[in-house]
Amino acid sequence: MARVVRHGLAVREHGVRATRGAVLACLAAAALLPAGCSGSGDPTPPSRTRGASRAPIAGTSASPGFFTTTDVSFAQNMIRHHRQAVEMADLAETKAGAREVAGLAGRVRMAQQPEISLMTDLLTSWHRPVPPAGGSDSGHGDRPGDAPGTLSGDEIARLKAAATGRDFDRRFLEMMARHAQGAISLARDEVAAGGNPAAKARARQIIANQRAEIDEMTRLLDRL
């Protein structure tokens, strides 16, 4: 009988040790579970772990669709800036005295119209406002918030009133060179602080194009 009792106690002790081992094993496994799992081992519902939107968010991740406030400001200012350049180029095509000046004006017009369309498309894709043509947002640099390098309303009026020929050519080239320098300033800000890949790429191209135009304007001025 004693042997039976001792055997029974041994069995019970073995069972306690086994139970204790199982509990410890469960606790260790629980410690390894992800924070999003419940104590029973059931995963958190998929809506919390897999349902989060992965759409690009403005200014947060390197994706073609993301953008920052710098990108928006750049696109809006370049639209205003380019519209004024096209307005000036239209004048030169009819009033310029030198054929080279008229040719330069034509190239400016052809280059900047597509850029206006590109900036408009970017703003539309970002659901941000496109500056209206004309009115208070036409970009004549005598109003607060106008793009750097844009001419004042008085300067545009003087250019329109300038006689055709050499007088107009000099005024146009001087004003357009300053205007182009303003575009470079805007583009540099975008390269330094912007985030949208398409906007930054266009900014780099604008810098190169405007520098080339300034060089050409300088050469033409030297010959007048």
Q: Does the pTM of the predicted model rise above 0.95? A: no
**Which amino acid type is present at position 85?**
A
Segments making up each domain of the chain, as ranges: 2-45, 69-223
**pLDDT, tens digit only, all 224 positions of the chain:** 444 334 443 434 444 444 444 443 443 444 433 433 334 444 444 333 333 333 344 444 456 678 999 999 999 999 999 999 999 999 998 899 999 999 999 999 999 999 999 999 999 999 999 999 864 344 444 454 567 778 888 998 889 888 889 999 999 999 999 999 999 999 999 999 999 999 999 999 999 999 999 999 999 999 98
User: In the prediction, which pLDDT does 28 show?
Assistant: 42
User: In the prediction, which pLDDT does 149 show?
Assistant: 77
Distance CA 182, CA 127 (A): 26
CATH superfamily name and code, 69-223: Ferritin, core subunit, four-helix bundle (1.20.1260.10)
Chain-centre distance for alpha carbon 150: 21
Give the three-class secondary structure for 50: coil
User: In the prediction, which pLDDT does 163 show?
Assistant: 81
Q: Any residues with CB less than 8 A from the CB of 179 and at least 6 apart, and which?
A: 81, 84, 85, 88, 149, 150, 151
C-alpha dihedral over 97, 99, 104, 106, to 10 degrees? 90
